Amino acid sequence: MNARFVTSDVSLMGAVDWDRTLFDALIPLPEGTTYNAYLVRGSEKTVLVDAVDPVKLDVLMAQLDAVDHLDYLVAQHAEQDHSGSIPAVLARYPEAVVVTNAKAKELLQELLDIPADRFRIVADGETLSLGDKTLRFIYLPWVHWPETMGTYLEEEHILFSCDFFGSHRAQSGIFAEKDLVMLGAKRYYAEIMMPFRGFILKNLDKLAGLQIDMICPSHGPVYKDPTYIMDAYRDWAGSPPHNKVVIPFISMHGSTLKMVDHLTASLADRGVEVERFDLTTSDIGSIAMSLVDAATIVIGTPAVLTGPHPKTIEIAYLAGVLRPKTQFVSIIGSYGWGQRIVDVLGGLIAPLKAEVLTPVLAKGDPRAADMEAIDVLAETIVAKHREAGLQ
């Protein structure tokens, strides 16, 4: 695919990865992804903003056939899906200088062995003249690495935002369509950005003073209307969670499933939205998206030997590191001759800092008393959501 014009002097370079199925060897990519680089041509200087994942280096190199001379390569983020091709670009353009911040320089040298004399360090807010155009560098720490920064093209009011506002969405066109992009954007937020909600809000505030007519992220399509993605980020990161319970569960012989079915019906009867995920088949990206705005998580597990089922350990750990807005957690399930379910899962979900509601564990097949305990749990969840102003 050739470079494509975003405006007359800004081109979208980089590759659409239609076939990638996992990001970070972790999150499924049902819509693929992209690695965007942008070429900005000023009257005196030419700049490449970011590079691409080395798996698509050939695509970037073919696009650069049309570029005789490169003055600067702006490295907004040192992670390899944007930086991994930088050494090859520098080899092709010996005159090019990597423009980045001090922290990114340190990381780029550690990750890619880029020589120290190829860097120019810029401060937060510093500008770089391209002749008739000006780039302003805006540090955006922890969205999602400490060194991440954005780049603002002052004359055209374009923000190159790197991972911030990105989406895992492969498409042939340049620009985002709201109805199509938001699913991939929320999946992206859930995995990459959610642990840094406080920093997201600070960085949104930092950008609030800028006139932004277009956002060019380093993954996914370009936003001609930045409003809805910025509003979505503020909502995902800052609004109270919804009156919703997420139930990731697994059942070996049907006992835990009976309890999950009962809890689902009991919550639904009380007006609580339920999203449940059978961990034998579920896409963990979908679970992460569901966690973005759920007030409560209830994990359903049988005992395997003396502990919870290993697949629930994975999801409890993931919830702990993604740190969603969850306010309440609980555990339900069944066991045969012994269990340490609450001990093990409780430790993994502790980083959520959520209130733990009394777990319900049945010995063997759940009896009437166990189902009554499930109803009590549902009633408690309703009361907690109500106290928190969520229902």
**What residue ranges bind ligand FEO (CB under 6 A)?**
77, 79, 81-82, 144, 163, 218-219
Using CB positions, name the residue nearest to ligand FEO: 79
Name which of 105 and 144 has its Cβ closer to ligand FEO: 144
Q: What is the DSSP letter of 358?
A: P
Contact 297/288 with Cβ under 8 angstroms? no
Name which of 185 and 329 has its Cβ closer to ligand FEO: 185
Give the residues across from 376 on adjacent strands: none
For the bound state, the minimum distance from the C-beta of residue 318 to ligand FEO, rounded and expressed in Å, comes to 18
For the bound state, the minimum distance from the C-beta of residue 79 to ligand FEO, rounded and expressed in Å, comes to 4
* CA 70, chain centre distance (Å): 32
Name which of 17 and 81 has its Cβ closer to ligand FEO: 81
Counting every residue, how long is the chain? 391
Name which of 34 and 327 has its Cβ closer to ligand FEO: 34
For the bound state, the minimum distance from the C-beta of residue 163 to ligand FEO, rounded and expressed in Å, comes to 4
- Measured distance CA(217)–CA(36) in Å, rounded: 7
DSSP symbols for 70-91: --EEE----SHHHHTTHHHHHH
Name which of 176 and 345 has its Cβ closer to ligand FEO: 176
For the bound state, the minimum distance from the C-beta of residue 294 to ligand FEO, rounded and expressed in Å, comes to 25
Name which of 84 and 307 has its Cβ closer to ligand FEO: 84
Contact 85/53 with Cβ under 8 angstroms? yes
- Measured distance CA(240)–CA(326) in Å, rounded: 9
Contact 64/15 with Cβ under 8 angstroms? no
Name which of 23 and 335 has its Cβ closer to ligand FEO: 23
- Measured distance CA(40)–CA(35) in Å, rounded: 17
For the bound state, the minimum distance from the C-beta of residue 82 to ligand FEO, rounded and expressed in Å, comes to 6
For the bound state, the minimum distance from the C-beta of residue 29 to ligand FEO, rounded and expressed in Å, comes to 12
The crossing angle, in degrees rounded to 10, of helices 227-238 and 178-188 is 40
For the bound state, the minimum distance from the C-beta of residue 356 to ligand FEO, rounded and expressed in Å, comes to 33
Contact 276/326 with Cβ under 8 angstroms? no
- Token code pair at residue 123: 């401060």
For the bound state, the minimum distance from the C-beta of residue 167 to ligand FEO, rounded and expressed in Å, comes to 11
Classify the phi-psi angles of 348: left when phi > 0, otherwise alpha if psi is within -120 to 50, otherwise beta. Answer: alpha
For the bound state, the minimum distance from the C-beta of residue 337 to ligand FEO, rounded and expressed in Å, comes to 46
- Which residue, chain included where needed, has tokens 């359903």? 300
Name which of 20 and 219 has its Cβ closer to ligand FEO: 219
AA letter at 325: K
Name which of 63 and 218 has its Cβ closer to ligand FEO: 218
CB-side neighbour CA atoms (13 Å) of 175: 10
AA letter at 300: G
- Measured distance CA(198)–CA(294) in Å, rounded: 18
